[in-house]
Structure 1
Amino acid sequence: MTATTPVRLADALVRAAGGPGRELPDALDAIGLDAAAATAVTDLVARCGLPANPDEAVIGVAVLHRGERVDYLLRLARGAEVRSERADERAEAPCRLVFELADLVVAMYGSRPPLPAGTHRLERLDDWFMTNGDPQDPFRIIESYMKATSTVLAAVSSAGRDLNALAARHVADKWGLWHWFTPHYDRHFSRLRHEHVRVLEIGIGGYRDPDVGGGSLRVWRDYFTRGQIFGVDVFAKNGLDEERIKTVRGSQDDPEFLRALAAEHGPFDIVIDDGSHINGHVLTTFRELYGHVRNGGFYVVEDLWTAYAPGYGGQATSSAGEGTSIGLLKSVVDALHYEEWTSPDEGADAPDHAASAVGLHVYRNIAFIEKGVNAEGRIPSFAPRTVDYY
């Protein structure tokens, strides 16, 4: 196959992306990395909406295929068309999105629904952000790159695009730069989107600054068009309360406060723990609030990485255990199966949540516990408990 014009190249990529997956690598070999990447990146730039990042941002895009690589730099400035240029892989880019050519082509041109996540790798120069920010407004540079990255990735795939865009618009750190949560949120929350839900998020953002934070609350306000959104933070927050948003000040490590919160504003359809990320606090909050989630709803824990961070009460280990957020999730797996336990007391020591946890979905740094009735009955007694048929 020889594709000599942009139209024929684009058509070749569409055909390759829509064909059998096993044939895709050979089809891309025939097109060639340089030609395929140039066409895909040109199309990506054309699909980008007008950037909303406050300051110009430079996003690298690297495309890999069979050990070879081509690089581009994308320049995004507020209200201007995105510009791209071929670059050397050593060219400095504070953020670089790295794609396998096959993944990029399928995400952009495939006939099947795209993956919600796992389509790219992010390379980020953390020291660059530390040294190039404005000391008077250090979050501005982060906001610019969050929004710029979201603009680029929204052009790659439609998966979770609406929620991704909301996160970028309201500068919520659930998408872009270091977290990639919104496609997972959209996957699980979409069926509730137009319901009259009550959503509680622990952690408003902005730390001690009373005038910073609230981006996630606004995301949920806009995503759940009929929802009532509640936010909790240990620090005072100004100017966030409105018709469908209410904020409450208190500590997620205070059981009495959490019980009063649930009594006044619950039950909730969704509880999201994006608070201190201190492992002991995560366990306290789960213990007090999980029971106040309605059946059919979700309890979400973000930033699971702190289970491996001793500074957050985690463990310096490759297998976090009891007393950590990861340990909690491991215990939920056991609790899901409490009716199958074979301990002498037959489940008498099952935790309170065992009969109401019906699903556990764990992704990188975020987990969703699905609430419902977990009482299907154990496997029948006549089913053999020992293997006797070999």
Structure 2
Amino acid sequence: MTTTRTELVESVLRSASGGWRRVTEVVERWGTDAVAAVLVDEILFRSEPAADCATATVGLELTHGSARHTTILDVTERSRPARTGAATADADVRLECSIADLVLELYRSDTGRGPDMRVTRFLPGEGHLSSDTERLHRIARAADAVVSGCTSHSPGLATLALRHDSDRCSSLQLSAPHFERHFRALRGQEVRLLELGIGGYERPDQGGGSLRMWKHFFPRGQIYGVDVFDKSPLDEDRITTLRGRQDDREFLDRLCRDHGPFDVVIDDGSHAAGDVLTAFEHLYPRLRPGGWYVIEDLSASSWARHDGDAVPGDSIAAALALVNALRERMGRGLRADGGSPDLAGSLAGLNLHHNIAFLEKGAGVAGALPQWVSRRPFWNGVTPQVHPAR
């Protein structure tokens, strides 16, 4: 994805916080067609597969003042809507919505109402005069499949994992409630989420299901994934993949400098004890206050060398050994500027569940980044120091 496209997407995301006036400024800067194209891609990503519907073409017309952008979509049963090259006049149904209304609905917290979507055309030349009521209903359900993507509301994580072919479907049946509870306060914000481990092994176009799941779960989120293999074919709006190793200190520093700070870091990478510790000592200090650092598959690594009480396969013992190892590492002084990030001083909470640990970074600790710091990248390789007022 080009830098210009990334800037456009971020501008649209941020405009939702400023209301109609800010959205109007963004549309006038980038143009109706460019902003509408971003919105259509987002709608197609979020839309539900059509159920019990007739094959139909749906014209989606997005407006801004007198300007209009029309996209024709194909809808078939059991599939999500997709773009087609059909002419506008061929659409069975035409839907119309203002760009500003759609931006505010897609990228703000769930309003529960949906956008102001209007049906301006229905089966031209036939419409409600048709005696085949079953066909009319099936055409209407095809239009509903498009409308389903025009909202910030989304299903639970377990459902999203199935929809986006995440390789974590089985584990999420147990952990989804924990993720949803801990991440609830962040869901409507412009979060930056980093996940170590994308899946699919060496196949460039395979994996990425959990990245798409998080993109859907966080409607305003920017999602970053790291893997030892090239996964660039999986890049799309709001999803960026990077190739690197979680034990490569220079790569991790560059990652934070270019794309941080992060609100959520999820380590689902190699699961090797040394790699987990290396990633933590470089990424946790760059985690925003109030953010979460999640370590998955605790029992996959043996922590016996870090704590004599750790028992392979015992996730609780492994988590406790992990915390002891982290405290030992963090106490050695990890920053080049002489600072010593204190895990005990910045850790607001540690939540242990089956095979997974959630570490919450405190929002009001001495030396931590204040919450008013911009979420845009600003790192220059050195963790900023914030000194308490005297």
TM-score band (shorter)? 0.3 to 0.5
Higher relative contact order (CA 8 A, sep 6+): 2
TM-score, normalized by length of structure 2? 0.47
TM-score, normalized by length of structure 1? 0.47
